[in-house]
Every structure is written in C-alpha cells, then in structure tokens.
Structure 1
Amino acid sequence: MSAEPQDRTFTNVADGNARVGFQAQEVHIEGGYHVSDDDPPERQFEVGLRYLEISAPTEARELIRKAIARGYQNSRADFYLALALLSGRTLQSLTDQELAQLAHVRRSAAQRSEDPWARGINAVGSLLDSLPQTTAETPDPAAIGVVVKEFESLTPPLQESILNHLEVFLAGPHQDWTWQRTFAAARRDRTAKDRVERVWKFFQPKPIPPREVPPPPIRTDAADFLRASGGSALFLVASLWVVYCAWSHSWLRSAGYLTVALGAVVVVARTGFIIKLAQHRRWVARQRLTFTPQRAPTQSDRFASAMDSLFDRYFRRYLPQDMAREAWLAETAGIRQSLRNELIELYREQAVDARRVAWLVRFLASDVKRRWLSGELKADPENSRVPSSTRAAFGTAVFALVVTGPLLLWQAFVEAPITTVIATVGVVAGARLAVRGWHATLFEHHRYQDDLVRVWQDYEDRCSAYDRWVRKLESKPTDEEMAHWLDCDRKILVQDTLRHYRLSAQDVIAHAFIEAPMPGCKRARVSRGPWRYSRYKLLLFLLTKDGVRQVTVTLDFETTGFGDQQRLTYQYNSVVAAHVVDARNGEKKLSLTLTNNPRDELTITGEWPGMPELGDDDRIASQVSLDASGLERTLHVLEGIAAEGKEWITHENRREHAGLRRLVAAMEG
C-alpha cells in the first residue's frame, strides 16, 4: 500500500547546538532495493514500484521509465508511471517531457478502456479535468459527481494509490470526500497487521547463528607420560622384589598376604580414582561459578565494550524474584565473566556487530536464571555423584591394604632387611610418580570428554534458542508497511490538529511535514532504502487564510503513542527568513526565523552530526530518505511564505492553475 509522499521527512531536527545520537542501527540486506541495468525490465519495474510505495518518486520514475523503454509496456506500467510523474510534485514543476509522457499514457489508456489499470489512468485524467483552472472558475457539482462515481468504480487498491500519491486531489472541489476517505483509511490501517507486535522486529539485526565452542585441548606433555610410565615401572619392580623376599621367608603366609594386598590395590586404585574424579568435577563446576577469570584479550575494544554492556543489561534484567540486583550480579560474577570471554573469543571479528549476538546473551542470562532457580547452578554435576557402595569398597580395600601391606613387608624384612628397605623406598617413590602421572593423564582425558559433552549440549540449547528467535523475527514488517504506518500516523496528527483548531478540510490551503529522529532512538533500513526510526519528532505546518498553525509532537513509533504536544500560531508576515543550504552530498538545512520568536530556528539535515564517511549504499539511502521525506515540497512552501508572506497563497494558486492548464492540455493531446 502506498504512502502519501510530500509530507514525510526522515531527517534530523536539532535546535541550536543539539546533537542527535542513536542507540542502535541496522541495515537489512534482505528485502532491499537492489537493481542493476542488467536486470530484466520486469525486475526494474517492480523495484521502481516499491520505491513508489514508500513515496520515493524520483527513484521510482527513473526505474519505471527504464523498464518501459526496455519493453515492459502495459497499462499497469503506464498507470504507475503517471503516479510517479505526479507524486509529490507541484504542477508548475512538471517539465515538457513529463507532460508529453502523461499525454502518451492517457492516449494509450483510451484504447484499453476495459483494462482496470487503464480505467485508473482515465480516472486520474477525469479528476484533473474537473479541477478549476482559474481562480474565478466555479466547480460544477454534477461534473464532480460523475468524477466521484468514476473514481469509486475503481478497485480499492487503485483508489488508495491515487489518493496517496496525488496531493493535488486533497484540494479543490474534491477536498471534503478525499480527506474523509484518507482519514478513515488511516484510522483503519494505523494498527493493522499487528503493528504494535511487529514494529520492534524491524529494528532487530539479523542474528548470527551459534557457533560451537571448542573445548580446551588435552593439556598433557612428555613429563606426565614419563612420570606415569617410569613410576609404574619402578613401583612394579620394587614390589616384585619385596614379594620375592617375602616369598623366600614363608611362601604360604606370603601367598595369603599377597592375594589380599593385590586385590586391595586394584580396588583402591579403581574406587579411589572414581572418588577423586568426582571431587575434581565438583571443583571445576564451582570454579566456573565463583572464579572470575581475567578478561579475554580482544582485537576489537568496541566489540568487547558492547559485549560488556549486553551482559550487564541482560543479567540485570533476568534476575530471580525478590533478589537484589547487586546481589545477583555478585552471585553470578564468575559464570558471567566466563560466558563473556567465551563469546568474545567466538565472535571477535572486526565486522561482527555485537547486536547480532544480543539474542545469545539474552538466552544465556535467562538460562543462568533458570538454572539458579532450579538449583542446578549450585548443585553438583550428575557425573560427580559417587555411589555409597563405591565409598564402602574403597574404605574396605584401604583397611585390607593397611593390614596386609605391613605384614608382607615384615616377611621380606626378616629375610633381607637392607634390600627390603631399599625396595620399600622404590615402592613409595614409584607409587607417587605413577599416581601423579596417571592422575594428570587420565583426569585430563576425562575433563576433555566432559567438556565435549557439555559443549555439545550447550550448542544444541543455543541452536534451539536461535531457531526460536529466527521464527519470532519471521514476521518482521516490510519497508512498505513501515512507510504506510508512518503515513497513517501523520494523517492522524493532521486530523487531530484540525479537530483541535476546529478547522474543516476546506480551511486548509496547504500542509507540510518535517519528521526527525529523536535522540537515542533505534534506527534501521533495508539496503538502499530510507532510514526508519523507533521515535520521531513530528512538525506539522497547516496553512490557512488566517495564518500558520505549527504543531510539534513526539511519536513513539513502536507503541503508536503521541507524546507532549507544542502548538505555535503565527501570521505569514511573522516569517522573517527561511535560509536553505542545499549541499552537494544531498544534505539540506533550513533555518526558519520568526519575528515573535527570533531564536526559534529549525535545522534539517539529511545526515547526523558525527556520522562516518558514507559508502555508496549509504549515499543512495540518504538520497532516497530525502526523496521519500517530501522535503522539497516542505521547503517550497516555507521558502515561499518567507519570500512572499500572505501573498504567497495568491501567487501559488495562480502558478498551480497555470500548471494545471498545461497538464490538462497536454493530456488531452
């Protein structure tokens, strides 16, 4: 659905030395307006039509003309070319070439009168024909009735397209019924298609998919292997020598002691490892929760700072009920820092926007809260629980070893005292080296396996969260919907202002808009499309024969709510000067000075203070934003008032009537 063009401005407004800043910005590649000269004419036409629907007629005219010139010739293309030529224009600004194109379009439509698009062109021609071409001319009610009937015979989409793009029909004899239709449609469509539930999604960046976290590699070296193998060999040789000496003294008793001791050693080694591994797993879990590691080094301080802000924001938001925020942050300091470092290592590329990872930070914060509430966060890991039977077996085996070990050593000592002492030292030293070596090797192996399981589970959970977020963003509004909703907001403001001042549609000679982003708002756009903002500052100028009504109001675009309103009424002769700067880069600035408030100066700019150097896509977006804003129309009105005062109304009517006569004459062939 199209939006009324000439009163929209996506430009900054700053009073004095004010600065405009943005909380977030996003450029959506998908759904953009990319087109090239090599694309087929059908594609050029469709992109041109999309530009027209967002009220960027300059780009629309160029693309639709190219498509027609390359062979895309039909009544649908002619209809939208006519709208693009007239959209947001004053009649006096039409060139002879454009008048010739309109004449050709109307002649072609006359030959296809049954085609719905051709009927739309004929209705546009009839509406133009019915407009008074001189100040003294009086409209014929019967002729107007015929035109209205012809217009109402069109399909609703064609009616809305004509009303939204041809501002000239909001004046003259058709003013009452066109404004009534326009306001009714704005009331109907302003919150249509679940606007409040969907608008916020337009400002969300495309999320980056989750990435697998590589677990720390196994950290064992040659020294650990030498300790394990050398200690085991020493322990085995020394133990065999003790057994040999004891066997030589009394083989029968030694056999009994040896059998019990060997069994006890095997049980102690097995159950002791299980118990120690469980303790190690509990220690690791607690370290992750309570230990605050050093900040991970990063290649991008900006990215690291943004990640800090995201973690702080979402952990402050997702906290257990009835728990102080500072206490919660202290409780989760360790795990929060670990997760922060983990994500910085995963997404540390310079080109990555931290906002694209915000969904993951939000999920992690909510997941930590969930695990804390369920007790899982502080509970021992499942694989760290040791059965009581294992502990009993360990205690029994230790007792058996304590009893039989000394008896076996005594048997050997009686047979060979010195040799037994040396062998015993070897047993103790070998056991110590073997335990240290095998502890490092086996524990590290199990740690790596545990990390693999944890990493895979975390990755699956994050993939599920990512899929849920992507599905939620699938209903993100299109740029055309954003443009139409904003246009509806504008029209509602016009209607409310008319009611406040108790004005009728016929009391309004002209109206103009300036729209600017509020400081700190979110902003986003599709590729090569105009910027859209989450909060606007709207300035409405209503021109009547008695003077100018200027209304300033803030708009929360996500909730559709209007904020505080300021109203200013002044005579035409109160406008002292309108200073316009038209820069080569597309930037436009206006300073409007009034006699009753000389400090009330308005600055309009197509860019914002301190913005970085523009790329090609940014330049196109800036030009389209100014085109879609209808700023040219607004400047035309304000400059005319500043130069001519109240006489501007008379002069403008004369100029428009002359332009209308040229247009009607051309379209009649």
Structure 2
Amino acid sequence: MTRASMHAGPSGDQAIGIDNQGGVIHNVNLYQQTPSDNPARNLEVGIELLSANLPRRAAHFLAAAYEHGVKSNRLLLHWALAILSGRSDIDLSGEEVNQLEHCINAVDYDSADKWSQGMEVVAGLLQATVLSRNDGLDQAGIEEILRRAQRLDADIRSDVLLHLDRIVSGSLFEYLWADHSDHVGRLRNAGNRKKRVPKFFIQDQSPPRMPTSTPYRPKSGAKGRAVGGCSIAAVASLLVLTAHPSLVASAVLVVVSAAAAALVVNFGKPLALRAKRIDDLRIELRGIASDTRWPGLDPRQLAFHEAFARLLAVAFETRTPTGFTPAQWLVANEHIRGTMAANVTRLYCDGRTQPGELRWLAEHLAKTQAGHMRTGLLWDPRFGVPDEDRARLGVTAGAALFAATGLFGGVPTGAGGAFGIFFAAVAIAGGLWLALPGVIELAIGPHYYAERRRRADEAFRQASQTYSEWADWLLDRPEDTEMAQWLAADLSWLRIEAMNALRLTHQDVIAHFAITEPADDARAARVPFGPTRYSSYRLRIFLLTENGVRVYGVELDFTDGSHFSPTRDNFRYDVIVSARVVEIGVRYGESRRAIVDLDRAPHQGPRDFTLAHALSLRLQKGELKILIGANRNRDLVNGGFEDPDSLLSIDIESSGIGEGLRILQAVAGEGKGWIETERARQRQVILKERRRPSRIEAPPTARSLALEGPESAA
C-alpha cells in the first residue's frame, strides 16, 4: 500500500492524499542572483535569504550590495541580523565581529527611522548580553531596552527577536522570555498554518487537455457485408419480379422485405448504439488487462506512467468507498488505474508537464470512480445506459416480416416454379438480414462519433471544474519565507520545551543549537536556490552546560507544529572524539530508512541504496549520524541553474549543521575550555570603542566599558 498523508482538500472534498515519495520544486524566483549583479537586487535577495533562515548566504549578498554602494540603514540592520542569526556569541569569528561593529557604527541614527531604531535595540541587547555574564544585569537598562523593543515596527521587532534568539542568553533571556514566548506562540500558529502547509508540497497544476478526436472507424467487414447482402437481395428481388406469376404478389413481396429491412435498421440503430455505449463504459469503468510494461510507451513515458500510477494509487486509497478496505479497493481497480495512467501518459507526457502537476486529475479520476461504485455502475455498466424496449419491439417486428416474406414467397403457386420463387424470397430476406448489421454499423457512425464527442466534452467540462477548484485552492500556498518563519518559531519554542524537560534554566545553558533532519516518511519541496523544506522533521536540540552536552530529540509534524516521541541523551565534553560531514548510504523502505556503512557495502554490482551526506558525531563509545537533506529526492535540483553540491551547502546551513559543526569540532579539539576562551575574546572585541554607542543609558561601569574598552576600564 502507498504511504500517504490525509489533508483537507479543495472545496467539496473531505480530504486528499499526498504521497510521501518524490519532491517538488516550485518555479519561484526569490533567491536567484549572483553577488556581482545589481546591488539593489542583491539587497532584496539578501533580505529574502535572511527570512528563509539562510543567514550566512544572506550576509554574503548584503556585503556585496554594501560594497557596490548601497549604504542604507535598512541594509545595515539586516546585515547585522544576518551576522548574528542562529549564532551564540562564541560562534562569531573576528572578521564577523568587525563587520558587526561596522554595521552598528555606520547607521545614521539621526534619521530615527525604523531600521536605526532596530539597530539601537540590537546594539543594546548585545552590550547587555556580554556585560550580564560578568557585571550582572542592569535592570533599569534592560527595561529601557524592552520598552524600545516594544515600540519597534512589528516586522523589525519580529526579526530582532527571532534572529537574536541564540545570541541573547543566560539571565538576560529571562527578562525577554515572557515577551518572546508570546511572540513565538503567535507566530507558530499564524497564517492558517495547518491548512496551508500541505499546499507547499504540491506543484502548480497543469490545466486539462482535450483528447484528440479520432474519426469513427466501423468494424472490419461491415462495408463488405452491407454491399454483399444488398447485392444478393437485389438479384433475388429481380428474380422474383420476373419469375413470379403474379406481378402484384411479387411487388408486395419485395416491398414487405424492404419494409422489414427498414424496421430493423431504424430500430436496430439504438440497440447497436446502446451496445457500443456499454462496451465503452465497461472499458472506462474497469480498464483493460495489459502487460505491465505497457507496450508502445518509450522509457520516458514509462517513467511518467509509473509516477502518475503512484498518484492514482494514493488518490484511490484515500477515497475508498464504504464496504471496502483501501487494499481491496486498489485491487478491484487495478486494471482501470493502469488504463487511466496509460491514457494520461499519452495525452500529457510531452516533456513540459510533470506527473506531479496532474495531482488534481488523479484526485478527479479517483473521485469519479468512487461515485460510480456508490451508484452501482461499476458492478453493471448497463445501469448507466437507458434501456431500449421500444427498439427491441421494432427489431422483432422486422424479423417477423422477414420470416413472413420467406413463407409468402411460395404460397401463391403450386406449380413447379414455386419452389424456386420460394428460395428467391428467402434469398431476399437472407441477403437483407446479412446486410443489415453492416448497414447499421455504417449508419450509426456519425451518431456514435457525435455522442462520443459530447461525452468527451462533458468529461472535459467536469475536469476543468475540478482543475479550477484546485487552482483556487492553491492560491494561498505559503511562501518559502513563511515556511522558514514557522520552523524558526518551532525551534525556539521547542528549545524551551527541552530545557523544561531536562530541568535546566537559562543560566544553566552556556550555548545551544538545533539540528534538523527529514523524518523517514517526510515529503520534500523547495524553491530554486532555497533550502529543502519537509513535512516532518527529526529534531535534536543540543544544550551545552557546565557539566557537558544535553541532547533532546523529538519528531516534529510541521503541518501544525505538534511534536512527539521525545528522546534524551547526554555526554561529557571529553568524550567527543570528532565531528565532521561524511558520505553515507541510505536504504529507503516503505516508511523507514536505514543507514548503510559504505566501508562494508559491496563495491561492485547494483546498489540498493542512495548516496547521501550526514553529520557524524563520534564519541568514545559510539557514533551519532544525522542525515543532511533527503537525497532520495534527486529531482529537487534545478538542473539548469543548480548542482547537487550547491544544494548540499544550502541544506547544511538551513539544517543548523553548519553552526553546530563548528562548535562540536572546537569542543572536540580543545575541550570545555574553548567555550570560556571564546567568550573572553568576544567580550573584549564586542565592547571595544565604537563611534556611536547605544543610546540606552547604562550604569557607569557598563558605560565606561562601552566607551573605553575593558582594558581602559581596568
């Protein structure tokens, strides 16, 4: 059975099924740009990348825009946020601290715009964070920072709170938490998240196409039977007219035969049309048995056929009618699904349309088939075609006249010629009876073609209506930046959940970071040059404390932000051996995946696994591997502009592995002492003399540190 998730669908639908295989890449140009291009465009791309939680890439574009002449407060604030986003103070390099200092000093504070006000709050929070670890908190100064933060523009305030989530820590975060938790709680459920998130994993849909009309082709031999039978009847009629002793009687014989033929043709056409309708409906409802390779399809079409057949299986499974289990319903419709997939492949597989763009069509076909089951049409296609009792009576009457013609031919004479005339009359009836099926077949051709055209038009109209419903339903599909904000809010919220579960306070946590990886059955989607988003995540939150590292893991359902299956782990700093990104093998099953050790995998022959990358955290007594991205979805790389290496780089940053890797590698090399060494260095750099300090009043000790630097104050 196909793995699928149930979600609310377009109007009129209770639910739709979204399969958990394959990936979606949206044709949206949010992040496509090079640092050497237009500076104004680089600024916009940098801000979008920051919203997408790709701060390192954002900083690269913002720095390029600044170097090419964009000196606005808007750029400087977002550049500073990009440097700080997802970082604790021990993550910042010397170059980044210098860039941060430059951003703070270069702002035009006299403009008093929303960006300069935002930078004042950022600078104040940075200063207060560093000082709080050594000199304690200045409560009055913190309250002033909070008041200024409350007065910020709503979007600026949201950005500051989210991007400084890791840089602000310890006792200072206690002051911010009440405001921050309310903001994060609202953000997690904003924008009708539960209904909109599933739409991100659905491609833009391709409109319906009208199948090509093919002229009606009568059955083989129909024309021959019609011509042959009529010829026999004509010759026999001529014989009767010339050989019969009574001209009137012979004329009556011929006229009756013609009338019988007219009756059969006139009333036989509806019966023949009905038989054809039933045959067409039987194929339409039940399909045709075919070789699984579908002869006539090339390899590209076979791949399309397989992908659309999978969509059909998901759609049929989620629309199982009463009285069936999903497995039973799939078996009952095996042939029709194959026929549907073949017909759709031949109509849509043109190199421009992907199977995922026809999800609406799979749902439409499944919904229609379930409706046929409820009406009983699936069991007996004759229910869908009106009966033709009157036509049967007419054909019966015509047949009776034919029989009477044969008998009437020998009645008038008792002479020796009567026997020949009798057989001539029978020949008339027989010839016409032989010709009638062919005549009817030829006569119903235009009617049958017109009727098929009407049925095709009606099917197209219904399909177009379904497509329109889907197109309207997808109009509010979330942007990639919205997906990023929801994920950032989830991570912030779950960090506090982890601290509560592990009974840790903000003062207990020296540093923290979160790493995400796709869940086993996650769906995947992305925009070009953006990170891969998943429908469900396996999340690990690393909390660095005085005594070691605490790890809290959960499974996150991204549709609504719910989490389950919590896990806990911990280890001392001195047991960390190494941390690095390695190549691994991943073997995918129906709903689970398994890591394959490449050193033990066979080097020759076919592989039953996919190459991927993972973070390898080696401890003295074990190893933890965290998958980077889902290489199962190789169709997520936009081949015209991207390559797998660039996608890997993006996924390393967006998953949190990039920042976590640096901390873990440093701790593995230098031990716990590295944290305190880094903090001492950062304290001295951040509190160096600045051209324009924060406008927030600080106590004398703090102010002297801000103006004179720690060495001067000492």
Point out where structure 1 has 5 or more consecutive residues left out of the alignment. Answer: 1-20
The answer as to whether partners of 1:208 and 1:357 remain within 8 angstroms in 2 is: yes
Counterpart position of 2:50: 52
Counterpart position of 2:625: 602
Q: 1:98/1:546 Cα in 2 relative to 1: closer, same or farther (>3 Å)?
A: closer
**Number of corresponding residues:** 639
**Secondary structure of the equivalent of 1:548?**
strand
Counterpart position of 1:200: 198
Counterpart position of 1:645: 671
**Aligned-CA RMSD value:** 3.7
Looking at structure 2, the residues matched to 343 and 613 of structure 1 have their Cα atoms a distance apart, in angstroms, of 24
Matches within 5 A, 1:67-146: 67-70=65-68, 72-89=70-87, 90=89, 93-94=92-93, 99=98, 102-103=101-102, 106-112=105-111, 114-132=112-130, 136-146=134-144
The answer as to whether partners of 1:224 and 1:437 remain within 8 angstroms in 2 is: yes
Matches within 5 A, 1:460-609: 460-573=461-574, 575-581=575-581, 590-595=615-620, 598-603=621-626, 605=628, 608=631
Looking at structure 2, the residues matched to 279 and 170 of structure 1 have their Cα atoms a distance apart, in angstroms, of 78
Looking at structure 1, the residues matched to 108 and 571 of structure 2 have their Cα atoms a distance apart, in angstroms, of 46
**Secondary structure of the equivalent of 2:205?**
coil
Q: Shift of residue 543 of structure 1?
A: 1.6
TM-score of the superposed pair, with normalisation by structure 1 = 0.83
The answer as to whether partners of 2:524 and 2:633 remain within 8 angstroms in 1 is: no
**Secondary structure of the equivalent of 1:529?**
coil
Q: Shift of residue 529 of structure 1?
A: 0.8
Amino acid at match of 2:648: S
Q: Shift of residue 531 of structure 1?
A: 0.7
Looking at structure 2, the residues matched to 171 and 104 of structure 1 have their Cα atoms a distance apart, in angstroms, of 22
Q: 1:137/1:601 Cα in 2 relative to 1: closer, same or farther (>3 Å)?
A: same
Counterpart position of 2:371: 370
The answer as to whether partners of 1:242 and 1:412 remain within 8 angstroms in 2 is: no
Q: What fraction of aligned residue pairs are identical, expressed as a percent?
A: 26
Q: 1:652/1:621 Cα in 2 relative to 1: closer, same or farther (>3 Å)?
A: same
Amino acid at match of 2:373: W
The answer as to whether partners of 1:88 and 1:165 remain within 8 angstroms in 2 is: yes
Looking at structure 2, the residues matched to 456 and 302 of structure 1 have their Cα atoms a distance apart, in angstroms, of 29
Q: Shift of residue 83 of structure 1?
A: 2.0
Matches within 5 A, 1:322-401: 322-323=323-324, 328-329=329-330, 331-349=332-350, 353-377=354-378, 378-380=380-382, 384-388=386-390, 390-401=391-402
Q: Please list the CA deviations of residues 36-89 of structure 1 after superposition, one character each: whole Å capped at 9, or x if unmatched.
A: 579754443222211011221232223334444555553323322232233345
Counterpart position of 1:437: 438
The answer as to whether partners of 1:28 and 1:526 remain within 8 angstroms in 2 is: yes
Looking at structure 2, the residues matched to 305 and 194 of structure 1 have their Cα atoms a distance apart, in angstroms, of 34
Q: Shift of residue 438 of structure 1?
A: 2.3
Q: Please list the CA deviations of residues 368-396 of structure 1 after superposition, one character each: whole Å capped at 9, or x if unmatched.
A: 111221234435266552143x4334434
**Secondary structure of the equivalent of 1:33?**
coil
The answer as to whether partners of 2:517 and 2:628 remain within 8 angstroms in 1 is: no
**Secondary structure of the equivalent of 1:521?**
coil
Amino acid at match of 1:625: D
The answer as to whether partners of 1:22 and 1:519 remain within 8 angstroms in 2 is: no
Q: 1:412/1:53 Cα in 2 relative to 1: closer, same or farther (>3 Å)?
A: farther
The answer as to whether partners of 2:550 and 2:571 remain within 8 angstroms in 1 is: yes
Counterpart position of 2:265: 269
**Secondary structure of the equivalent of 1:208?**
coil
Q: Shift of residue 24 of structure 1?
A: 2.6
Amino acid at match of 2:616: S
The answer as to whether partners of 1:279 and 1:384 remain within 8 angstroms in 2 is: no
**Secondary structure of the equivalent of 2:476?**
coil
Matches within 5 A, 1:189-268: 189-214=187-212, 217-220=215-218, 224-229=222-227, 231-246=229-244, 249-268=245-264
Amino acid at match of 2:320: L
Q: Please list the CA deviations of residues 89-144 of structure 1 after superposition, one character each: whole Å capped at 9, or x if unmatched.
A: 557745559736853663441231x3222222233333344454697545543333
Moved more, 646-655 or 424-433: 424-433
Q: 1:548/1:451 Cα in 2 relative to 1: closer, same or farther (>3 Å)?
A: same
Asked if 1:624 is matched to 2:650, the reply is: yes
Point out where structure 2 has 5 or more consecutive residues left out of the alignment. Answer: 1-18, 584-611, 695-706, 708-714
Counterpart position of 2:155: 157
Amino acid at match of 1:465: T
Looking at structure 1, the residues matched to 315 and 146 of structure 2 have their Cα atoms a distance apart, in angstroms, of 57
Amino acid at match of 2:269: F
Q: Shift of residue 475 of structure 1?
A: 2.3
Q: Please list the CA deviations of residues 562-619 of structure 1 after superposition, one character each: whole Å capped at 9, or x if unmatched.
A: 222221233333x231232489xxx975433334xx1233355467489689644244
Q: Please list the CA deviations of residues 177-201 of structure 1 after superposition, one character each: whole Å capped at 9, or x if unmatched.
A: 2333322222222222222222122
Looking at structure 1, the residues matched to 503 and 359 of structure 2 have their Cα atoms a distance apart, in angstroms, of 48
**Secondary structure of the equivalent of 1:601?**
strand
Q: Shift of residue 29 of structure 1?
A: 1.3
Amino acid at match of 1:601: L
Looking at structure 2, the residues matched to 70 and 411 of structure 1 have their Cα atoms a distance apart, in angstroms, of 114
Amino acid at match of 2:664: L
Q: 1:243/1:322 Cα in 2 relative to 1: closer, same or farther (>3 Å)?
A: same
Looking at structure 2, the residues matched to 487 and 381 of structure 1 have their Cα atoms a distance apart, in angstroms, of 56
Amino acid at match of 1:643: G
Q: Shift of residue 518 of structure 1?
A: 1.8
Q: Shift of residue 486 of structure 1?
A: 1.3
Q: 1:241/1:39 Cα in 2 relative to 1: closer, same or farther (>3 Å)?
A: farther
The answer as to whether partners of 1:128 and 1:664 remain within 8 angstroms in 2 is: no
Q: 1:152/1:243 Cα in 2 relative to 1: closer, same or farther (>3 Å)?
A: same
Looking at structure 2, the residues matched to 529 and 330 of structure 1 have their Cα atoms a distance apart, in angstroms, of 40
Looking at structure 1, the residues matched to 333 and 631 of structure 2 have their Cα atoms a distance apart, in angstroms, of 39
**Secondary structure of the equivalent of 1:201?**
helix
Q: Shift of residue 284 of structure 1?
A: 4.1
Corresponding residue to 1:175 among 173, 176, 186: 173
Q: Shift of residue 510 of structure 1?
A: 0.7
Q: Shift of residue 333 of structure 1?
A: 4.8
Amino acid at match of 2:669: A
Asked if 1:299 is matched to 2:325, the reply is: no
Looking at structure 2, the residues matched to 381 and 571 of structure 1 have their Cα atoms a distance apart, in angstroms, of 74
Q: 1:137/1:44 Cα in 2 relative to 1: closer, same or farther (>3 Å)?
A: same
